[in-house]
Every structure is written in C-alpha cells, then in structure tokens.
Amino acid sequence: QIHGKFVIAVNPQYTSQECSNCGSIVKKTLSVRTHICSCGCVLDRDENAAINILARANTVGRTEIQARLQTTHCLLSFRLIDKVTG
C-alpha cells in the first residue's frame, strides 16, 4: 500500500500488442499509435495497453471470469464518467 492506495505489480510485456477484446497478438512498431485487431477492436494503443494492465491486475487472487467482470465494470464506470464530464 502506497499513499493509501493499493499497488499491484503486473508484467507490462506485450500489453500494447495483445488485443484487450479477444486476446490476439497484433504486432506493431512504436510508431503505430492505433491498435486495430481483426476482431473489430480499434483503440489508441495506450488505451488498449491500459485495459490489459487493468485486466492483469484484476486477476490477482481471482478466477479469469471474476477478473473480466471486474475489468468490464471498471471500464464502463470510466467511460460513463468521461461522457458526463465531457
């Protein structure tokens, strides 16, 4: 716990290349800033990586299904707040 917040270390390897929607690896160079997967997922590469990091953190002590539900809940909350605040 740091400054009253819980910190969970996750392996950041391939988080920008792994599709946060389907799990496929979409190789890209650092100059490619948009993640585009054949499953239809299109995101900024950093947003895709952030979703993957959140999902990995949520797997600590949980089953994969519990982790995916928690990640989905967090993402829906963030997007709702973003729409409300502009």
Per-residue model confidence as pLDDT tens digits over 33-72: 999 999 999 999 999 999 999 888 877 766 555 555 555 5
Is 85 a domain residue? no
Is 51 a domain residue? yes
Is 45 a domain residue? yes
Weakest-pLDDT range from 8-17, 20-29, 69-78 = 69-78
Is 11 a domain residue? yes
Is 29 a domain residue? yes
Q: What is the crossing angle of helices 64-85 and 45-58, to 10°?
A: 130
| Domains identified in the chain, total number | 1
What is the per-residue pLDDT for 57?
A: 84
Is 86 a domain residue? no
For residue 44, what are the domain limits?
A: 1-79
